[in-house]
Structures are given as structure tokens and as C-alpha cells.
Structure 1
Amino acid sequence: MRILIITVGIPGAGKSTAIKNLQCKTAQSCVVCPDELRKQYAGLLPYKDGLKIPIDADKKVWTTAKEMVESKFTLGQTAIFDSTGLADLKWLEKMAKAYRYRVIYVVFDDIDIDTCIKRVKQRVQNNQIADEVLYHFDLKLSKFNEKSANNIYKYSQGKTINDAWEWSKYYLQDFNVFDKINIIPDIHGQFNCVEKIDFVDNEAYIFIGDLIDRGTQNVEVIEKIIDLANKPNIFLITGNHDIRLLNWANGLSAKSSGFRQTLKEIELKIHNVDEFKKKIARIATHFKDYLYFDFCGERYFVNHSGVDDMFENIPTALLNGVMTYGYSGTTYDNYHDYKEVGLNWLKNNPNITQIFGHRNVDNIVDYKINERCYCVECSVESGADMKVLQLPHKNIITYKNDGSNVIKIDSLEAEETIDKYIKIKQFPSKGIESHNFSHEVFNKNIWNKATIKARGLYKYIDNGEIAGRSYDKFFNIDEIQPFKKWKLCVKYPVYFYMKYNGYLGILFYNQITKELEFATKSMLGMELNADFSRLLPYKEFFAKYCKENNVSFVFEVITKNDQPHPINYDKDFVVLLDCFKNTEVEKSIDIDSIDLPKEIMKKETLNIAQDESQLDKFVRFYVDSLDLDYEGVVLKDSNKIPNRLKIKTNFYNIKKALREISNKNKTTYKNGKNSHIIYALHNQKIDWKAIELGDIKKML
């Protein structure tokens, strides 16, 4: 709950004194007081009968007061505006509404006017308020008290203000009117999941936040929420993505590339955008930063991104702020953040169960971090089924996700992508840095333009220009989209190239050090890539060509003693795969058009499909055959920026599965294609590296 407390009362009624005596240790950081700002701007001036605050700086005072209040509103901080409350504060009420704040007026009217006049005159400073001014304020206070509203409270020894920091007194709700409570994870525009929920009146539904962005059905999700918001059993937690939508609807700043994509969708699908915006603004106050409630004998604290404790200076949307993206120094592994959040929460609140979303997480069974902490984020925008946590039994209800299984291109904010999903390594002595996507991107299909491009991408540190590059990331058949959909974009002929089982070597000329660079997808330097530099002939040729044409050559580097790779080779060698211009957009140069030394080994062309019929025939062969003893094939069509696809052979996949079983000391393997062969070979206890094609064919 976002709360703004406005003190109301004539000077001398004890407003500032009550605030200074608040029990909460952090309360003073929430106060905005125009009188204190006047002292800061203009100080105190001596008059014949005492010290007085001049009013010359009032314009600056009120400008600063507004900025300070809005700064606190932006963070969702509980705020106290310490003034008489009897001046024109419509600007403050309007701002509070835009930021979804509940306004509480705490009225100090238990001190009579004569006592207030006496107190003012006894002040050491600012004691020159005329009696007629005080009488004028007293009249305004009388009129103010004639109002009757739920947000007006009488002052009682500061109790109302102190209660704002006491969770159990001020924020605890009773949810026992419901039979069940359904905690719905981050939706991110995947309406096909939401529409499967059968909303019933006797159950509560809590949307954990991040309703929009990344998916392609944001408008449908928003329309559904508009329809549901006023129902008494629907509860909306504000996610960091939802804040932008609500800010946009209320005329506030809503900058992010992710929301720009959603806004484009709104403009495309909605006929009257202004009316749509008004509808969102009307339900904005239904969005809360958290819920704290009793249900079936247990207390729950539900928020978007997870916190360590119910700190006394939160009630605040900092739940969506500094604590949102994990602890600093954890090098992109948010799962350890979950463990730490869960352990801290259990220690600080052993009798309250916390449920949150936002943070992507691997390998947590049924979302349970520990007996008092659950995370319901399940990456529906990446194609995962939506799993709803149901209370009181904490069981999981699964809803099939029929949507795309890959995050849409350009859906993530640039800064979020760089900070969270791309690993950057700098090589200061060479003036170059490498960009490579993290394991989380690979494991969860978090692909956008930035992550797809960050695969062996090298930039100069000083100006950000491309120093060297490899392929943009491309995928296995049916990995992120059905093959039949991939075919719709191809231009014939489509080439099938041998896929070798080594590691990628990238060769380019360093304009700073004036030397040829040997690199992998993330590491740079001849010493670090000794096999690559040892095996490459004609270094002078490549150095000259790279320098004069500003290109990178991409090789497969293969060594016969390369233990991690499933395919065995009887010699060390390098194979030239492609040549790319050093540009942001992938631009290849046909290696057959380059006058290469004859001894340079180039990739092998296995087939060329001239039409869809041939394409289907060749693909079926490479997918089904058990007669191929190499890693697989790479498909490349004839578009200017080519579409690529990988197919791994059954031989390679079987050996890779056996390698994983061996390395993890497991005796089981997930059922799937060729699982009977994998089980049989594993039971024979043959070293996975030594298995040959003949061993597999014996199992047929």
C-alpha cells in the first residue's frame, strides 16, 4: 500500500513535534516539511522580538517540496507532508492519485486556538505569525472538519502516524472469506494462459505482477484485467513492467524498450487509444505493491520480487526497486539469490510465508525455496506452461501454454539485457572486449537481438566499434519454432554443410595493437588459443586480408585429444567456415570468392536443396539416419542475411547423452528418441568416448 500522510492543523497544534516523536527509526526520512526547507534556503533572520524564517524563498521552497514528494512517490516510499494542510494542496492530491497513493489526513484539532497562539509566541524561532493569521487557519480547520471521508483521522497522541509502520495493525487483511487462493505467476503478455483460468467467485486470484511486455498478447491481457479489476476476489500486485503501463495511463514517464513494444501493440490493436488509457487509469488504484493477509491459520506476505524482511520503512515499492534484480556480486546466477532471499526471510519471519515472482529460477521443485518462501515465476513468455500456486495446500495447478516458446526479439530492455544476460570480458592491453550470452539465456531461451548477436562478438573498448565477430546465434531444428514455420522464410537454394565437432575460432586484425587476433567465443589471445594459432597456416595472408578488408574469418578448430566433444578425430586440423564483415549486422563474404591458399581446408557442402520438396527430403534423412558418424549439418538459405538451422545426427546425440550420464554419475536418462539404445550402451559400461557407429548399429 502506498501511503501519503498529510498533517492538518493550525500552527502550534503539535504536528511537527508528533512527527519528531514517531517510534519508527526511519520515519524522519519520509518527511517533507516546507518550513524546514525555508530554513535550508534562507535560514533565520533576527527581528527585534525574535528569529524569523523569511518568505522570500517560498517559490524555491514549494518547487523543491514538489520534487522531493515526487521522488518518494517514484520509489513508492511512505511519505509524510508536514504542513498545515489547510493551504491549496490540490497539486499534491493530483500527484498522489497519479502514483496510486492512498492519502491520509491526520487532523490535529484537540488543541484550542488560544493554546496554539501561546505556543507560537513561546517559540525561539518563527514566532512572528500574526494572531489574525492563526484565527484564519482555525476557521479553515473548522470547515475541513465538516468533511466526512474514510481517509480523515483525528490525531491521538500520534497513534495514526505510528500505525503506518506497524504491519499487523495497519496492513493485515483477512482472506478467510475465500475457499482457496490462487497465486498467478508473471504473465508477460501470454493471454493464452490467462484465458484458461475459470474464475469463480468463492476463490481469490492474486496476479503476482508483470502482466505485460515480452509476449504478443499484451492488449488481450490488459483488457482481461480491466474486466476483472473491480471484482472483490481479484487482487493485482504491481510488477516492474506494470509500473510503466500505469505511469503511461496517468501521464507519467514510462520509458523502456520493452514497453515501447507493448505500446506499439496497443496502437495497432486499439481503435481509441485515449479511451483505452482512461480505462487503465481508472483501475490503477487496484494495483498494490504487496498483500499481507491471514488465511486458514497462516499469514502470507505476497509481493512481486521477493524481500529479505518486512522492514519497518517498507510499506514501499522498493520491492520493485533496488532489490528486484538480485544481490550485487552474484555474477548473473539468480538462483543463489533465491536461496539467500529464502534463508534470510526464514530467519527474519519464521511464522510468515512469503510468495513472490519476477526472478527466473531453475530446479526449484514446486516453487518451494524453503518452508516459508515460494517463488511462482515460471517463464511463460519463454513457452513454459503456467503453473499456479494454490493455497492453503500449496499445490500446483498447471495450465498448458499454447504460445511461442521464445521471448520476442527486442522485447527486453537494452540495459536489462546487458546487465543481466550478456557477459562482457575486457582485455585492456588489447583495447578489446568480448560479448557473449550467459548460461541463463541458453537454458531459458531468452533470445532478443542483443543476446542473439552476443556470440563471439568483439568490440573496441574506446568507441564500441566491431573489432571481430562470428555468427549470430542460430538454432537446432524445431528448437524455437517449428521447421514448417522456418521454411516460410527461406530463399532457395538451401545449402547443407558439414557440422564439425570442435570449437569456434575467430580470426581478425586488431587496429590498436596492429596484430592478428586469435579468439574463441569469449576469450582473446594467441596464448589462450594455442591450438588455433598452432594449426592455422598462412598467418601473414590472413593478417593482410583482415586488415585491408576489415573482416573476420571463422574456423572450426579440431584436436584429436579434445575430450569434452563426443566425435573422435584422428588428427588435428582447422576448417574455414565463413568470413564476415566487421559490422553490427551479420554480412558474410562467400569464401569461394576469396583467393585463398590451396592448402586451406574449407567447409564441406553435403547437399543443395533447390525447392521445398528437396529440402524436406534432405531434412528427413539427416534427422532420421543412424548411418552418419559426424556431428550434424548446418542449413543456410540464399537470403542476403541468411537463415540458418542446425541438425544434429543421431550418432552425436546418443554419444552426448551417454557423456552426460557418465559425467553426472547417473543411471537414468530422460525418455526420448533412441533412449533404448542409450540405456543398452550405458549398461554395457563402454566408455562413451570410445563408442563408434558400429556399436550403435548393433543395437538396431
Structure 2
Amino acid sequence: MRNLVLMRGSMGSGKSTFIKNNNLQQYTLSADGIRLLIQSPILSENGNYTISQKNDNKVWEFLLQLLEERMKRGEFTIVDATHAKQESISRYKKLAQEYRYRVSVIDFSDVPLNKLLEQNKMRPEYKQVPEIAIMNSYERMKTEHVPKWTTLIKPQEYNEIMQYRPIDLSDWKKIHVIGDIHGCYTALMEYLKDGLKDDELYIFTGDYLDRGLENDKVLQFLVEIKDNENIMLLEGNHEYHIKNWSHERETDSRVFKNSTEPQLEKANIDKKEVRQLYRRLRQLVYFTYHGKTFVITHGGISKMPDNFIYLATEQLIKGVGDYNTDIDYAWEQNTNGNENLIQIHGHRNIFRLPTAASKNSYNLEGGVERGGDLRVVTLTKEGIQTHEIKNNIFKISKDVKPSVDQNNMSMDEFILYLQNHQQIKEKQLGHNISSFNFTRKAFKEKIWDDINIKARGLFINTYTKDVVSRSYDKFFNTNERSFTKIPALADNLKFPVKVYEKVNGYLGTVGYNSETDQLIFTSKSEINSEHANWLKELFYDTFNENTIKLIKSYIKQENVSLVFEVILPKENPHIIEYKERKLVLLDIVYREIVFKRKDYRDLEYFAKAIGVEYKRLAYIFSNWIDFYKWYRDITNDWSIEKEGYVVEDSAGFMIKIKLPYYNFWKQMRGIKDKVARKQEHTIKGSELYTPLHNKFFAWLKTKDREYVKKSNIIQLRNDFYNEMDNL
């Protein structure tokens, strides 16, 4: 937190020993330490090694630069130096005012002179100073007093005074904790429609302005209530902009500059009042209330620290971890379910969690500025209640991205689009059939639109103008594209959603060519490739003649193609181990321009009719919270030995979820290929970021390169685990 502690005392008075004994080294800037960074000990005329004092201008310039960097983040900091003169302490005053720091001085000036001289002799030779220097500083401290704007502390008082303790707020009849407002005055007034009650406490968690449409009204309201005894205002990350504005400084926020600032200027708000408002903003509110302990911050923390003094203000404001950290889950995990220890915060909620976000953690970020809710938690002797006030005054963002009207497109137009698209390649396969597939550049550089996402397993007879076989439109992994990131999914998934297990083979389709009245077997943009032929061979091995006639008739009459996952453990092993060759029917897709498929009941019925395995429905989720908690758990579970899942929402939107076990061994397959080629020197340290990575890599390097080259990752994994089990 914003606390600066200055050590004061003559050389040898025990300042550095005090810091060490109290485990405060990591918070300390030492003048002597910086002197040693700039110049190593020098040999004096007395024949002793000593720390040079000749670089002091550089030393103090550098120390103050480091201190200001820490102050920008609100970090607790100790400066270990003599600080004998008032002027040496006063040099910190401007920084302390700018960054709202409390300054304390731990005073060692009463250590007797004889003890100072004795302790000086006990120091390492290079740290010893001339006795005359000690005498001078000792005498100076008798006449130089510590400035009154600092707090004087004796060493034995430190642990008592520098402990941040909760205050008891049980005398208040009710406590209102109000979340991020973001300039949404009307929603705030809807909650406060009965006015502020004198026997109730109101705690605001920060982010009062920006993004909303009523910033001036919110700021005027806060200025009016800032001095009320029943008001506590926390500092959020957006308050930095009103600080700059009130001091006539430029801000780097385009939102503030282009939207908020014009509103404030037009309202002619007194900037002096705003400066006073900013000085009243708290870093946190830490209190007890009827037997429970509460900590309220803007950004959210992951656990209750032993002493808040040592936690940087930046972490209280911006939160512990990254913006996409599920801080509510972290709190639940790290507080061991202590029901009497409760966190309330705002700022971030990309997972769209409810107000009661986790066990004993309440999230007050409700997207109010986007038409969401102003969130409030109220505390009374009887318990905790949550409130959501819908905001109806907000700016609607419009998506202006152009798209192609596929529903009204003719096949001639569609083929023309495909053939002239820069990120689609046509491959003519003979017999008037072409496959269309997105380019490597589209894949690598993520260049996607409404047309080239269709060029995936798409086969067209350019003479008859028929789709002879097709698979899915290209769909993506979670977090692979902007619209598959968790925040976007939280907003856009249409519930209920269905989750299917993803088997780990390769994709193949069975379609129909009306020109030849034949089934078409396709894979990887080919009809005569090794993979397509493997599919064809397995297809005829799996089904008897009558079943094949039934399948052909069905594909022809229903105008569909069958999408299979092809599992070939010997010919084409992947990451997940299977014992037998098999086809798994994934979907029945219409051979049309717009992606459309049979529903799961039809798939299930047809698969049973032809006697083939089909994709397994694993879960159905009716709401985002249940889905997110499941997602959070399985994406951190290394024990699930599967590739992952395919999620399909009720509007047909699809995403893939890859699991940690699969991702790890897929990565190690690439590592094994480099080892086999004797290119392990190209493997970066960042690629080996767990003990298992390094253990498997070290094991690989002990093996014959030819064995590594010829073995697939499944065989290598089994051999690795077998050897580890036998050690």
C-alpha cells in the first residue's frame, strides 16, 4: 500500500539489521546498495576497503527514480539511509504528495554514541565508516528534527503500528456496497431512489466514469456526497483520468478524451472539488460486521494477506493476476471455504459470473455501461443480499462488418466466389470434381470470411453444379478467435448448449456424384489420396452389401453427405490411443451452400440403423454459469485422456475445446520430431515449461534417433511411462 518508511539513524545504529530481522529486504531501497551497484569497494589511504561516497549525486538520482516507479504502483517501500538532516527527508515530500503516500520515519537516533562506534567495528570492513562521520551524524540528529508531516516510529513500535487491521462497522444498520457505475447515473439513482439514509453506510467500489452517457451527473453527485460520514469511496483504475483532468494534465484514454471529458467540461464542474474528491478515495475497505470479516477492493484479490500494508495499491485497484483471471474462483480456492471471510470487488468479470460469483466472493462488475446491471451487495445483521438494477440508457454498438447473403446465392455465383477468392485454392480432381479449401495463408494469418470458412472438405461437380460432398464450415477452438474467447462466448452462446466428445482421428466424408451415380469418398481435399482410400477401405470393411445400398440410397435421396471420424490405430495414429479400427459418424450434412445438418435424433436413428458408432452427447447446459464452471474445471484437468469436446449452441454455432492431456502430447509430438532430426538445439526453453516436459525431453534424448523417428507419439509415451514405472 501507499506507505513510505524512512530509516533514520547514524551509521552502525542497526537500521539494516532491523530490516533483515523483520524480513523487509524485498521492500527496501538501500543507498549503500546502490553505491555498490555503481562502484565496487575502493581501497582507502588507511589501507581499508570502503564504499565510495563520490557517486552520491548519481546514487540519489537513481534511488529517487526507482522510488517513483514503485510509488506509481503504490508499493510499500523502505529507504535505508542515514536521513540525519531535515532536508534529506524533505526530498520525498513532493513525491509523497503526488502519489498520496503516508511517510513514516523509524528513528534510531537515540542509540548511544559508544554503541554506534562499537557496532561500526563489527561490520564488514568495506561497510565500516570513519568514526568522525558517525560522530558528526550523531550530533546533527540532536538538533535536526523529523518534519511534522511524517509519523515518527521507534523500532520496537514498528510491528504494532505498521499492521493494517480491520475496522468494526457493526454499528451501521445496513451497508450498501455499490459496484462499477461507469457514468450510468440513472441506474444509480434508481437504486438510491429513497435517498441516502443517515444510519446506513454506502461503499462505492470505483470506476465511476467512462463508457456511460451520464458521466457529468455521476461526478457531480460524488462531489456533493464526498464529505458525508456515511460515504466511503474506493479508487478504481478509471479514476486516474479524472485525477489528470482535474490537474489540467493530458490523459492517454481515448474514451475519456473523446466522450467523458466533453461532458465534464460542458457541465462546468469545479476541478478543485474533483481534486478534493480524488484525495478522499480509499485503496480498500477492510472491516468486520456482525462476526464476519469483509475486504472490499476495486480489482479483487486472490487471498487474505497477512498484512495489507505490503500489498501494492495497483493490485488492489487493478486486481491480482490478469484481467482475465477468475479472481472469485481463486479466492474460493485460497481461503479454504472460510465462511466468515468475504470478498467484494468490481472491475472485471469476463466470465459473466453472477453477483454471488463464488463461495464468499461477490463480483459487482455487471456491464452496466453496455446495458447490463448496476450491481449492489447489501449487508445487514441478518445476512447478505444481492441486487441488480438494469441500465436502459447506454450506447448500442453496431456491427458494420459486411457479409455475403448465402441464402440467396445461386450455385453459379457460389462457384464463382470460390474460384476468385484470394484465400481459397481449387484443386481439380478429375471427372469434373473440384475440391475447395482455404489457403495456408488464411489459416496462419487467420484471414476468414463468410466464404472461405466453407472451403473445408467441400467438393463440387463443376459440370452438374452439385455439391457432391461437404463437411463442416471451418470452426475454431476456444480463445482462437475474438468471437471464441470466453467473454464473447459468455455474451453470445445461445442456451441450451450441447457438448459432444471429440474423437481423435481424421475427418472423412462420404458423398454422392449424380453424374456417375457413385458414392464419393473424400478426405483432406482429395478423393484418391491415401486418407481417402483408407476411408473407402474401412467403409467397405465395416458395412455389408445391403447396408451400403441403404446408405447410398439415403445419401442420394436426402441430398446429404456423411461426416466420419476415421480411427486407424496402426495406419494413422494420432495422440489418443485406440485399440481398434473404426468409423464414428459425426454428422449428416446437407450437400448445399449453407451449412445445415440433420438433428442429433436423426443421426442417432440412422447410425443405429446401419450399425455404426456415432458421436456421444456428453453434456447439456442450460445456462452460462454451469457451462463456464464445467469449462474451467475440464481445461485444468490433466487426467482426462481425450482430445476434447465440440460445443454446439442452440443457434448452430460450434466451437472446439482441446484438453490439457491432448495439448501436451501434441506439443511433445513436435518435440519428438525435432529430436529425431537431431534438431533439439532449436527447442526453446519456453516450450518446456513443466517438469513432465523436461522429463520426457530428457528421456527422448537418451534414445536411439532411428527408434524415435520410427515410433509414433503413442508408442513413445507408453514406453516412457513403462520405464518410469520400473525405476
TM category, shorter = 0.5 to 0.7
1:346 to 323, 326, 335: 335
Are the aligned partners of 1:208 and 1:236 in contact in 2 as well (CA < 8 Å)?
yes
1:375 pairs with 360, 363, 371, which one? 363
- Distance in 2 of aligned mates of 1:270 and 1:260: 15
- 1:28-177 equivalent positions in 2, closer than 5 A: 28-47=25-44, 48-85=46-83, 86=85, 87-123=87-123, 124-129=125-130, 131=132, 134-136=135-137, 138-140=139-141, 142-145=143-146, 151-157=150-156, 159-160=157-158, 164=162, 169-177=163-171
Deviation at 1:317, TM superposition (A): 2.2
Alignment match, 2:472: none
Q: Residue 103 of structure 2: SS of its match in structure 1?
A: strand
Aligned to 1:395: 385
Shift of 1:45: 0.6
* Residue 177 (structure 2) pairs with residue 179 (structure 1): no
Native 8 Å contact 1:218 1:265 kept in 2: no
Per the alignment, residue 190 of structure 1 pairs with: 184
Instruction: Specify whether residues 509 and 66 from structure 1 end up closer, same or farther in structure 2 by C-alpha distance, changes over 3 A only.
Output: farther
**Cα distance in 2 for residues equivalent to 1:280 and 1:535:** 74
Structure number with greater Rg is 2
Equivalent residues in 2 for 1:1-12, closer than 5 Å: 1-12=1-12
CA 1:221/1:382 → structure 2, altered by over 3 Å: closer, same or farther?
A: same
| Farther off after superposition, 102-111 or 14-23 | 102-111
Question: Is 2:298–2:319's contact at 8 Å kept on the other side of the alignment?
Answer: no
Per-residue deviation, 1:188: 0.8
SS at match of 1:288: coil
Residue equivalent to 1:13: 13
How high is the TM-score relative to the length of structure 2?
0.53
Structure 2, unaligned stretches of length 5 or more?
A: 428-435, 439-446, 467-496, 498-618, 623-649, 652-727
Gap change, CA 1:18 and 1:521, over 3 Å in 2: same
CA-CA distance at 1:16 after TM superposition: 1.4
**Secondary structure of residue in 2 paired with 1:104:** strand
Q: Compute the TM-score of the two structures, normalised by the length of structure 1.
A: 0.55
Residues 389, 395 of structure 1: 8 Å contact kept: yes
Once the 2 structures are TM-superposed, how far is the Cα of residue 181 of structure 1 from its aligned partner?
0.9
Alignment check: 8 A CA contact 2:181 2:207 kept = yes
Match of 1:528 among 441, 449, 456: 456
Identity of aligned residues (%): 23
| CA separation of 1:537 and 1:358: change in aligned 2, threshold 3 A | farther
* Count of residues paired in the alignment: 443
Q: Against the structure 1 CA distance between its residues 520 and 122, is the aligned structure 2 distance closer, same or farther, given a 3 Å change threshold? A: closer
Q: Is the 8 A contact 2:437 2:458 kept in 1?
A: no
| Structure 1 residue matching 2:365: 3-state secondary structure | coil
Shift of 1:113: 3.2
Shift in alpha-carbon separation, 1:163–1:531, aligned structure 2, 3 A: farther
Question: Matched residue of 1:81: which SS?
Answer: strand
Residue 296 of structure 2: which of 296, 302, 308 is its match? 302
Consecutive unaligned residues in structure 1, runs of 5 or more: 328-333, 407-446, 456-469, 473-496, 539-563, 565-662, 667-687, 690-700
Could you tell me how far 1:347 is from its partner in structure 2? 1.9
2:357 match: secondary structure: strand
**SS at 1:144 equivalent:** coil
Partner of 1:655: none
Q: 1:499: how far off?
A: 7.4
How far apart, in 2, do the equivalents of 1:288 and 1:114 lie? 45
Shift in Å, 1:270: 4.9
Change (3 A) 1:64 1:186: same
Aligned to 1:226: 223
Does structure 1 conserve the Cα–Cα contact (< 8 Å) formed by 2:210 and 2:260? no
8 A Cα contact 2:424 2:452, kept in partner: no
The one-letter code of the counterpart of 1:354 is: Q
Q: Hey, what's the Cα distance between the residues in 2 that align with 1:97 and 1:293?
A: 27
Which amino acid is 1:299 matched to?
T
Distance 1:240 1:535 in 2: 62
Give a deviation string over 1:503-548, Cα, whole Å, max 9, x none. x99866439999998686489466427279979979xxxxxxxxxx
Query: After the TM superposition, which residues 222-261 of structure 1 pair with which residues of structure 2 at under 5 Å, given as runs?
Result: 222-247=219-244, 249=246, 254-261=251-258
Q: Are the structure 2 counterparts of residues 536 and 21 from structure 1 closer, same or farther at C-alpha, using a change threshold of 3 Å? A: farther
CA distance in 2, matches of 1:71, 1:347: 35
Are the aligned partners of 1:212 and 1:221 in contact in 2 as well (CA < 8 Å)?
yes
Which stretch of the first structure deviates more once superposed, 517-526 or 118-127? Answer: 517-526
Contact 2:368–2:391 under 8 Å retained in 1: yes
Q: Are 2:437 and 2:455, in contact at CA under 8 Å, matched by a contact in 1? A: no
Q: Equivalents in 2 of 1:183, 1:535: separation in Å?
A: 69
Distance 1:349 1:234 in 2: 28
- The answer to whether the Cα contact below 8 Å between 1:188 and 1:215 also exists between their aligned partners in 2 is yes
1:200 has 2:197 as partner: yes
Instruction: Write the distance in 2 (CA, Å) between the matches of 1:664 and 1:471.
Output: 31
Supply the distance in 1 between the matched residues of 2:148 and 2:168 (Cα, whole angstroms). Answer: 26
Alpha carbon RMSD of aligned pairs, Å?
4.2
Amino acid at match of 1:401: N
In the alignment, what sits opposite 1:357? 346
Q: What's the CA shift for 1:232?
A: 2.5
Counterpart in 1 of 2:207?
Answer: 210
Q: Give the aligned residue type for 1:352.
A: L
**1:263-342 equivalences in 2 (<5 Å):** 264-265=261-262, 268-271=265-268, 276=271, 278-312=272-306, 313-321=310-318, 323=320, 325-326=322-323, 337=326, 340-342=329-331
How much has 1:161 moved relative to structure 2? 5.2
Mapped contact 1:384–1:405 kept (Cα < 8 A): no
State the SS of the aligned residue for 1:287. coil
Give the deviation of 1:118 after TM superposition. Answer: 3.8
Q: Deviations over 1:221-265 (max 9, x none)?
A: 223222222222211222222233335546888423233335532
- Write the letter of the residue equivalent to 2:2: R
